[in-house]
Homo-oligomer: A and B are copies of this chain.
Amino acid sequence: MTRLTVVQEIMSANDRLAAQNQALLDTHKVLGLNIMAAPGSGKTSTILRTIAAVSPTLRLGVVEGDTAPVTIDADKIIAAGIPAIQVNTGGACHLDAVMLANVLPQLKLDALDLLIVENVGNLICPAAFTLGTHLNVVIASVPEGDDKPYKYPTIYRGIDALILNKIDLLPYIEFDTAYFQQGIQILNPNVSFFPVSCKTGEGLDAWAAWLSTRVSIHRHQEGHR
């Protein structure tokens, strides 16, 4: 058996389980959102800002993926009054559909409209594993540099929204927004783009409005199935 065959079988098994995760979410009319980003781009800060913007109108739950057993991020979500479950990958570099399937039964899905999954901080590996979420989002950040779409192209393909965080730092950092957007345009011309600052709050209303609309559309679709 070649290495490629083994990898294909693992990926196929992951995709099957991801489909089951999505069916479970659909049964409970929960929209699933997978957030991927490099370490330190502001995933948890964005989730906290999203909670502040859409809760309690939308009922949220969060799954926190961490490569180490520290609960720094999960604690912040719980402190914001939102149910959060940590998945400690035990050193692994991404979440997969098995890990999400293992924790979904711990969430009261009937009491949720939106489940946000914070993936492990990594711009490469999470792109290779579907989870069963309905939406995939990448958070880039200004200090990471304007060349990231060119250097890590895979993760930007097929995502539904791209958040560019830390725009409050634009005065202090050389960042060519046009060059960044040109890179995205090549990879994913239809992606919804949200420049934001989780520090100042700028731009987060547009993101929250887009997300709320997507939750409404999903709930409506599931209600008519």
Contacts and interface: CB of A to CB of B under 8 A. Distances in A.
Interface of A: 38-40, 66-68, 70, 72-73, 91-93, 120-125, 141, 143-145, 147-148, 150-154, 166, 168-169, 172-173
Contact of A67 (B40, B73, B124, B141): B124
A93 B168 CA distance: 30
Q: Which of A68, A72, A151 has the most CB of B within 10 A?
A: A151
10 contacts: A39-B123, A39-B148, A68-B152, A68-B153, A91-B124, A92-B124, A121-B152, A124-B125, A143-B144, A168-B172
A68 B150 CA distance: 8
Contact of A72 (B122, B147, B154, B166): B147
Contacts of A67: 124, 151-152, 154
Given A40-B145, A120-B124, A121-B123, 13 more contacts: A38-B38, A38-B39, A38-B121, A39-B151, A40-B148, A68-B151, A73-B151, A91-B154, A93-B125, A141-B143, A143-B144, A143-B166, A169-B173
Contacts of A166: 143
A68 B155 CA distance: 11
By Cβ-Cβ distance, the 3 closest A-B pairs, closest first, are A40-B144, A143-B143, A93-B124
Contacts of A172: 168-169, 172
